[in-house]
């Protein structure tokens, strides 16, 4: 049951101010804009896309809270307003980061949860959906086209069309490629792409190794960029590709790759 005292506490409290700012999408952008430089009411209307009467009311409410002051025909944020705008803008950034990760979180390595949230914000997340099931594969293809070295643990995404076509061309163009997969990974090469696979395995700059215990996700080092591919074994699809050039992630991926590389063995020994 909501009583008058409950409503009073809600509206006259920090939560009440937060609720006020978030109830209308134009309020936070307007306050942030006023921290950048003085702006007129008409500028704020154009920037936020709301009516003059709405902006007038919002500015009055900001003034009542001492978040802004009037300077001639323009308005500017006070130090109080700057503090509120900075925190709310940062909160929105954090929520945006969380939203892009929530649907792929269960596929990611545990190490990702240990990175600072600032590092999370540098992750590019490409997720498959019913309207674009191959979006992650397309993203990986675009990254692969730009790289000069490829190091990959569990390279399912690299072996899917059209990525394998790109990989094939890259090897012939001199790109150095090393793939580490589970035992019998060469069987996939030889059975699905018999001619091209046999040809690739004869190239000095193409190496396929095998390892008995790889993680459930793919980890790639494409020059300075790291990719994490989330492959769903049951459906045979790549559900997401995460890529970044953030140094902490690069350091982690390099360490993981080198750890598995040290125990990997050439497939030639089993042919």
Same domain, 135 and 210: yes
pLDDT at residue number 75: 96
pLDDT at residue number 241: 94
- Chain CA centroid to CA 116, Å: 14
Q: In whole angstroms, what is the distance from residue 159 CA to residue 238 CA? A: 11
* pLDDT per 10-residue tile (average), the chain, 271 residues: 43 84 94 95 95 95 95 95 93 88 86 88 89 92 95 91 92 94 73 82 91 92 95 79 95 95 78 41
Does residue 28 sit within a domain?
Answer: yes
- Chain CA centroid to CA 145, Å: 20
pLDDT at residue number 189: 66
Q: ω into residue 162 within 30 of 0, thus cis?
A: yes
Same domain, 199 and 141: yes
Q: Determine the longest span between alpha carbons in the chain, in angstroms.
A: 82
Same domain, 248 and 170: yes
pLDDT at residue number 5: 43
pLDDT at residue number 11: 58
Q: In whole angstroms, what is the distance from residue 147 CA to residue 52 CA? A: 51
Same domain, 121 and 52: no
Domain that holds residue 49: 4-93
Q: In whole angstroms, what is the distance from residue 212 CA to residue 199 CA? A: 25
Total domains, the chain: 2
Same domain, 71 and 115: no
Same domain, 85 and 115: no
pLDDT at residue number 57: 95
Same domain, 166 and 37: no
Does residue 169 sit within a domain?
Answer: yes
User: At which of 93, 116, 142 does a domain end?
Assistant: 93
Query: What's the CATH code of the domain at 212?
Result: 3.30.870.10
Same domain, 261 and 222: yes
pLDDT at residue number 244: 95
pLDDT at residue number 20: 92
Does residue 17 sit within a domain?
Answer: yes
Does residue 98 sit within a domain?
Answer: no
């Amino acid at each position: 049951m909501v009583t008058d005292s409950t409503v009073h506490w809600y509206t006259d409290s920090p939560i009440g101010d937060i609720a006020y700012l978030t109830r209308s999408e134009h309020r936070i952008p307007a306050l942030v804009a006023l921290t950048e430089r003085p702006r007129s009411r008409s500028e704020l209307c154009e920037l936020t896309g709301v009516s003059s009467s709405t902006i007038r009311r919002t500015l009055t409410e900001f003034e009542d809270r001492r978040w802004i002051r009037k300077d001639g025909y323009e308005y500017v944020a006070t130090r109080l307003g700057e503090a509120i705008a900075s925190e709310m803008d940062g909160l929105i950034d954090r929520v945006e980061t969380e939203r892009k990760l929530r649907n792929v979180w269960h596929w990611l390595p545990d190490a990702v949860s240990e990175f600072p949230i600032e590092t999370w914000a540098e992750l590019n997340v490409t997720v498959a959906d019913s309207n674009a099931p191959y979006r992650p594969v397309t993203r990986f293809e675009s990254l692969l086209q730009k790289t000069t070295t490829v190091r990959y643990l569990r390279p399912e995404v690299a072996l899917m069309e059209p990525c394998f076509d790109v990989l094939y061309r890259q090897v012939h163009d001199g790109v150095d490629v090393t793939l580490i997969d589970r035992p019998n990974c060469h069987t996939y090469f030889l059975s699905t792409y018999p001619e091209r696979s046999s040809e690739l395995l004869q190239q000095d700059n193409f190496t396929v190794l095998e390892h008995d215990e790889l993680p459930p996700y793919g980890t790639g080092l494409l020059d300075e960029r790291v990719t994490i591919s989330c492959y769903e074994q049951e459906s045979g699809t790549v559900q997401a590709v995460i890529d970044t050039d953030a140094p902490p992630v690069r350091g982690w991926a390099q360490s993981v790759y080198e750890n598995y590389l040290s125990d990997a063995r050439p497939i030639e020994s089993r042919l």
